[in-house]
Structure formats: C-alpha cells, structure tokens
Chains A and B, each alone.
Chain A
Amino acid sequence: MEDKQIVELYWARSEQAIHETAAKYGRYCRSIAWNILFDDEDSKECVNDTWLRAWTNIPPQRPGLLAPFLARITRNLALDRYRREHAAKRGGGQVELVLEDLEGCLSSPERIEEQLDEARLVDSLNRFLAGLSARDRCVFMRRYWYISRISEMAADYGMSESKVKSILFRTRKKLQRHLLSDGIKL
C-alpha cells in the first residue's frame, strides 16, 4: 500500500493504518531502534511506541513521505529510552561512541551559559549538510542520524573502516568550524 493511502487510513481513524505501517516500515524502524538500543525487546517496544505516536500525530499532520516521518519518531524514542536506561545497560550500542564523536564538534570545554537555540542549530546543520558532497553527507548521516556502525558502513560502501573514520573526522572538523563561524557555541 502506498504512503498516501496509509495516511488516508490514519485520517479515517482506521486501525488498518497501523497494520499497513507495520507491514511496510516495521523492519526499517526496528533497525533504527536496534542501532541505538542494541536490545531486541527494547527495540520492539520502541517501534510499537512509534506506531502509537504516528496514530496520535496523524491527523493533524499529513506527511508526504512516511519513511523519514516514522524514522524521526523512532530515533527520538530510542534515544530517549537510551538516556533513561544507559546507566544500567551498556550492551554495546553505538550511542556513546557517537556522542563521544560529537564532543569533537564542541567549540570549547568551557561551560556555555546561554540557552542554545535549537532552531538556529538545525538551520545551520542543514546549510552545512547542503555544502557537503553526497558521499560525505551520507557517511555523516549514516553515522550520526542512523547511528550505524563503522564496520557496517564500510561494508556497505566498499570502503575501508579507516577511510570511513577519516571521512567522519574531516566532516566533524568542518562542522565544528561551520558552527563556530555561524556563531553557534556548543
């Protein structure tokens, strides 16, 4: 079933919408959750919460593309769950490694008191990503949006792991400079 029809089911408040969503995007969302939580049960719960969140948000929303719409929900839910539970569970997920990576984009170890404007940060990120080559952008997104493993990315892209790491390193440094010049202090 195409996305448009699924969305119409949501608007008609038909529970068939959930079934169709799960059939079409279940595996996709589960993989996103798994990369973050590294636990089957937690990932399943996260995906189920994604369907509930979609049900709550459609309507009033009418997403044109369901994949990124659902992916965002799953990612946010998984990260929230990770933050609540990560002190107890250290099961080999990638989130800590990704956060350590992103530390390298911080401009100063000093404490920044001013409130961070998230909208401005997102806008700056979008402009930064627009200026990258597709390869560097995709490597960056796979690592920091999808929280994919370096080994997985290297295998998928036919690159060595060192090359993937090098691309990520350069891109992080470029991001750091970009954010600095945009006046965004992290």
Chain B
Amino acid sequence: MNKQTAKQPSDRAAQLLDAIGQVRERYIVEAQTWSPGRARNPDVTDTAAAESRCRPRLSWRRGLVTAAAASLVLLLGSWFGLYRAGLWPAGLAGTQTTSSTGSAGTATAADRAAQAATGQESSQSSQIPASAAGEASQTAAASDSSPQGTAGLPLLVIGLSDDGSGATAAYGQLYLEQSELADHNPWTEDADITTLPVYRNLRTIMPDTQSISGTGGSDLLQQLEQLAAALQLTVNWDDLEAPVVYPSSEVLHSRESLLASSQQFDSLQTSIDGIQLSVSGIGAYTLNFDPDSGLLLPDSLVFPQGAEAQADTLPANLLSTTPEQMLALADYVLTQYSQVIQMDQPVIELHTRYGYVAPEADGSNGLISKSYQLSIYDKSGTLAEQMLNYAGRQLSFMVTELDSSDQNPSGGAYISLLRQTNQLDQLEKLGDYPIISLSEAESLLQAGQFAVSQGPQPTPDLDKLLKVEMVYQINSWDYDTILPWYIFYIDTSDQAPDIGLHSYIAYYVPAVDPQYISDQSVWQGGIN
C-alpha cells in the first residue's frame, strides 16, 4: 500500500539512492545470504564479518543456489580484528608485547606527540567527563567488595537498547596466524581488578519522539575554536553550518545564533583554505582535505591497504603491503598532525582483515580479500580510562590516491581525512561495580551463560581457546549500558573448509558480578 507522500522526494535523495547502488559487491552478496541466529552450517565458512549464514530462504535467491548458498559475508572494518604491532613508546614498562613484525623500544611519533601534548591543559588529556571518570580498583586492599561497600549500586539491564538493536557482539574473524590475534588492549590477564566503572549512555534516540541527542552549541564552538587554533586557521564565525538534531531540519550559520540557541546539534562545520573542519562532540572531529590542502605522502608510504583476488589465491600472497609499512604510515601521520591529535599517549592498533566468498563446486568464482585497518587510541590515564579510550575514542585517517597528470606523472597519494571519534562524552556513571575473575567468567561460560552473535552455539570447548580479553562495548545509540565484557575467542577452524585461513567465534560474558545484572534472560545462551 502506498503511503501518501507529503512532498516530492528530492533529486538529492535519488542521487543517494543511485550511489548506494554503486557500493562494493561484497555488500550486495552479503545482503543476499546473511541470516541472524541460524545454526552454523558446517559447510559454510565464515568471513571476517561472520554474522552471515547460508540461508536460501527467499525464493528470489534460488537462482543463486551455488554461489549464494556457499557465499559468505565479507566485512572489513570491524574494530575487533588484531595485529601485533611493534611501535611501543619507550617507557611503557609492563605493557611490552613481542611482535614478529614490529620494532620496539625506539622513540616514535607517539613519544613526540605525547611530549608535544604536555603543554596542553590537563582537561584535554582525557575526554572522559570528570563526572563520569572512574578508576579501576587495582588492589584488593583498595576496594571493598563487601555488600556494604557496593550497596546502592543500581541493577544493570545490559546489552539491549529499547528495540533490541544493541549488544551486537563482535563476530568471528578469519585469521592466518595466531600472532595476528595479538593486540594493544590495555587490559591484560594479570591486571588485578576488583571493580570497574559502569556507565549509562546518554547518547540516545528517544523511542517515542525519536529525537536524537546531540551537543550544545557553545561546546561545539569551543571545540571548533581549539581545532582551528591547532591548525593555525582563522574561522569566519559568520560562515558556519550547524544542523539541529532530528526531528528538526533547522540549520544555524553564525556564532551568535549558536550561542543564543538552547537546542542541540549534530555537528558544527566550516571550511577554511581547502580544509573542511567538522566537530560533532567533545573531542570528536573530522578534517577533510582536498589534494592541495592534504598531506602529500612520500613515495615510500604509498601502497595499497587492501586487495581482493580469486578464492584460490593463497592468503599470504594476497597483499604485498606489510604491517611494518602500515605502521610507518601511521607513525608519519601522527608526527605530521601531532598539533591536532588530542591524545597524550597515542598507541597504534593494526588490524588484519580477511574476507572470503566460497567458490562454486568446481572451485570457480570465489573471492578472497585481505586488508589492513589502522586505529589509534590514547593509552593515558587509569586502566579504566585506557580501556574506555580503547573502545570509544579512536583516531583514524584515510589515504586517497592522486590522479596522474602532466605535472604529477607518478600520481601519489595524500591524507584526505583525519578523524577522531569520541563516544565517551555523554556517559553517566552508575557506579564502580565488582568484577568477576577470569576463572569465574570461564565457569559462567562453561555453564552456558554467554552471549554470541552467531547463535545458538553449544558451550565452547576451552581447549580451543585462542585468547581472552576484557573490553567495554560502546557504540553510539546502540548500547544503553556501557560495561566491560570478557571475550573468549574459540577456534572453529575444524568447521571451516581448508582455505589456508582459520576462524573463530567470540563468546561474551559480562565482567560485572552477575548479582548486579537484573535481567539475564537477554544474554543467557545467546543474543538474538
């Protein structure tokens, strides 16, 4: 039934629809085959996105039986893939990890950035609001785990936002070597933690009005002013663009109007000398550069960051770019943009992502991919702050190739985007909650008290445990309660075809003592 339309859709909406039609093939294929919560098909191999299922349920997909039934999800860009880097700032004693590829112990751009940041006000060193900051109690003596000490803590309803869209636990990954699973998570198994802070996420979409939380005008103006000053740019305060949050369609254009408004805004933007500056929250910004204003990369740092090939290509031969090259690129960007990067101790996290679409029965038409994803987080502050930064405050950048021309026959590439996200600026601390030990978490796991995004799953065999870590789950609007989770990586390679890659499933157990979790039905045995 057609809905009566109030107005003719704009040409721009049609352009967006056309552009959506041009997105990567892997997403077109994935959308045909993904299915939530189905039992794993032992003949189907999961890809890096691994929430997929072969499920030719729709009649219109029967024409794709072989390709669709065997094809799998390709997802690049999950925050959950890992690679052991080697660029450790000197002086981080106790956090050193070994790496097969990285260098260690030398002064890096991260050191220089940290040194450059010491002149900044301390309020900029951590973007967690003072009202929300909490510290991990790192010794038994420091924390009182008696009921009286933790009395008054509200029970937690975890994982789900009002419509159940939250708690999308990270999905299984493909990996070539177990060393790729190493990471720079500030939490380690020997961290002696008894409590950690838990927060309510105030970035919400109200279910009744669907109004969206944003940021106040004065805060955004301050952020823009600081960002422009760091770049030594002068803002024209009458040439701004500040859209009011949904459901309003109003846009304000001047400093005066923003200061006079009590509304909240999606972002605040302006363009100066070929650079578009956009701030979307406290410590959250995006810089878009054109070829003239962007940082031109030296030839040694111009290389592909991803590759796709036929499925019979050996994963080791997919991409010539090495992790060392990627780390050198990140180090260069950190150095060149140290004046704007709002991190005291930036640490580079390099993720290796594999994707796979199974070929047909005769081995043809499959697809395999490999790419790198870089992110940088601030490893300053308490362990809790580091863990929150790791999950919710990250720096990323994009490299764009230049077209070859008479003036520039070799082409080259430049930094076209620099983005720092901050999903921690609207958190309300609920309290410091007791944290269960790793052995207690293992007991819960073996008792079937876990959540997965590929359910239902049998209780995992801990003999196939690849790795365990603790992370906060943060994603704007999707999680009402921000708390730490244990994540157990269980190898599932015996269920996958022999393609030279291994696979695993991630099992989630809340790290908070279960007596403080009010509704365990939403995660017991699985999500979805």
Say if A and B assemble together.
yes
B31 at the binding interface (Cβ < 8 Å): yes
A58 at the binding interface (Cβ < 8 Å): no
Contact with B along A52-68 (1 / 0, CB 8 A): 00000000000011111
The reply to whether B31 and A138 contact each other, CB–CB distance below 8 Å, is yes
The reply to whether A169 and B36 contact each other, CB–CB distance below 8 Å, is no
B25 at the binding interface (Cβ < 8 Å): yes
Q: Inside 8 A of B260's CB, which chain A residues have their CB?
A: none
Q: Which of A76, A83, A162, A166 contacts B21 (CB 8 A)?
A: A76
The reply to whether A134 and B13 contact each other, CB–CB distance below 8 Å, is no
Q: Inside 8 A of B316's CB, which chain A residues have their CB?
A: none
A174 at the binding interface (Cβ < 8 Å): yes
B376 at the binding interface (Cβ < 8 Å): no
Smallest Cβ distance from B182 to chain A, in angstroms?
A: 23
A159-B165 Cα distance, complex, nearest whole Å? 11
The reply to whether A181 and B419 contact each other, CB–CB distance below 8 Å, is yes
Contact with B along A142-167 (1 / 0, CB 8 A): 10111000001000111100110011
B105 at the binding interface (Cβ < 8 Å): no
Q: Which of these binds chain A: B68-76, B442-450, B487-495?
A: B68-76
The chain B residue with its CB closest to the CB of A32 is B60
A112-B13 Cα distance, complex, nearest whole Å? 13
Q: Inside 8 A of B24's CB, which chain A residues have their CB?
A: 126, 129
A161-B362 Cα distance, complex, nearest whole Å? 40
Q: Which of these binds chain A: B2-10, B90-98, B459-467, B515-523?
A: B2-10
Smallest Cβ distance from B504 to chain A, in angstroms?
A: 16
A127 at the binding interface (Cβ < 8 Å): yes
The reply to whether A135 and B36 contact each other, CB–CB distance below 8 Å, is yes
Taking A108-B251, A134-B73, A163-B164 as contacts, is the C-beta distance between A182 and B64 under 8 angstroms?
Answer: no
The chain A residue with its CB closest to the CB of B360 is A2
Task: Please provide the chain B residues from 235 to 260 with a CB less than 8 Å away from any CB of chain A in the complex.
Answer: 241, 243, 246, 249, 251
Taking A92-B2, A99-B9 as contacts, is the C-beta distance between A108 and B243 under 8 angstroms?
Answer: yes
Smallest Cβ distance from B502 to chain A, in angstroms?
A: 19
Smallest Cβ distance from A1 to chain B, in angstroms?
A: 10
The reply to whether A177 and B280 contact each other, CB–CB distance below 8 Å, is yes
Q: Inside 8 A of B22's CB, which chain A residues have their CB?
A: 72, 118, 122, 125
The reply to whether A145 and B23 contact each other, CB–CB distance below 8 Å, is yes
Q: Inside 8 A of B360's CB, which chain A residues have their CB?
A: 2-3
B286 at the binding interface (Cβ < 8 Å): yes
A12 at the binding interface (Cβ < 8 Å): no
Q: Inside 8 A of A126's CB, which chain B residues have their CB?
A: 23-24, 27
The reply to whether B37 and A163 contact each other, CB–CB distance below 8 Å, is no
The reply to whether B77 and A131 contact each other, CB–CB distance below 8 Å, is yes
A95-B15 Cα distance, complex, nearest whole Å? 13
The reply to whether A79 and B36 contact each other, CB–CB distance below 8 Å, is no
Q: Which of B17, B251, B278, B357 contacts A99 (CB 8 A)?
A: B17
The reply to whether B68 and A67 contact each other, CB–CB distance below 8 Å, is yes
The chain A residue with its CB closest to the CB of B214 is A177
The chain A residue with its CB closest to the CB of B170 is A133
B310 at the binding interface (Cβ < 8 Å): yes
Taking A122-B23, A166-B165 as contacts, is the C-beta distance between A130 and B76 under 8 angstroms?
Answer: yes
Q: Which of A25, A142, A186 contacts B15 (CB 8 A)?
A: A186
B223 at the binding interface (Cβ < 8 Å): no
A72-B22 Cα distance, complex, nearest whole Å? 8
A125-B36 Cα distance, complex, nearest whole Å? 23
B349 at the binding interface (Cβ < 8 Å): no
The chain B residue with its CB closest to the CB of A6 is B365
A64-B308 Cα distance, complex, nearest whole Å? 11
The reply to whether A133 and B251 contact each other, CB–CB distance below 8 Å, is no
Contact with B along A106-134 (1 / 0, CB 8 A): 11111010001010011001110111011
Q: Inside 8 A of A68's CB, which chain B residues have their CB?
A: 25, 28-29
The reply to whether B30 and A141 contact each other, CB–CB distance below 8 Å, is yes
Taking A100-B5, A127-B77 as contacts, is the C-beta distance between A31 and B60 under 8 angstroms?
Answer: yes
Contact with B along A73-99 (1 / 0, CB 8 A): 001100100010000001010011111
Taking A2-B364, A170-B165 as contacts, is the C-beta distance between A65 and B25 under 8 angstroms?
Answer: yes
A177-B24 Cα distance, complex, nearest whole Å? 21
Q: Which of these binds chain A: B49-57, B148-156, B189-197?
A: B49-57
The reply to whether B32 and A67 contact each other, CB–CB distance below 8 Å, is yes
Q: Max chain B CB contacts within 10 Å: which of A68, A71, A103, A183?
A: A183
B58 at the binding interface (Cβ < 8 Å): yes
The chain A residue with its CB closest to the CB of B289 is A183
Q: Inside 8 A of B389's CB, which chain A residues have their CB?
A: none
B142 at the binding interface (Cβ < 8 Å): no
The chain B residue with its CB closest to the CB of A141 is B31
Residues of B within 8 A of A (CB): 1-3, 5, 9-10, 12-25, 27-32, 34-37, 49-52, 57-64, 66-68, 73, 75-77, 163-165, 168, 171, 205, 210, 212, 241, 243, 246, 249, 251, 266-267, 269, 271, 276, 278, 280, 286, 288, 310, 357, 360-362, 364-365, 367, 398, 417, 419, 453, 476-478
Q: Nearest 8 pairs between A and B by C-beta?
A: A130-B77, A31-B60, A99-B9, A134-B51, A141-B31, A183-B288, A166-B163, A181-B286
Given contacts A67-B64, A110-B251, 13 further A-B contacts (CB under 8 A): A24-B64, A65-B357, A68-B28, A83-B14, A96-B3, A122-B23, A126-B24, A135-B168, A141-B23, A141-B27, A145-B27, A173-B212, A186-B12
* 28 CB-based A-B contacts, threshold 8 Å: A2-B360, A2-B362, A3-B67, A3-B365, A4-B365, A5-B364, A27-B60, A28-B60, A28-B63, A30-B60, A68-B29, A75-B21, A92-B1, A95-B17, A96-B2, A96-B3, A96-B9, A100-B13, A110-B251, A121-B16, A134-B30, A134-B73, A134-B75, A135-B34, A141-B23, A141-B27, A156-B58, A163-B164
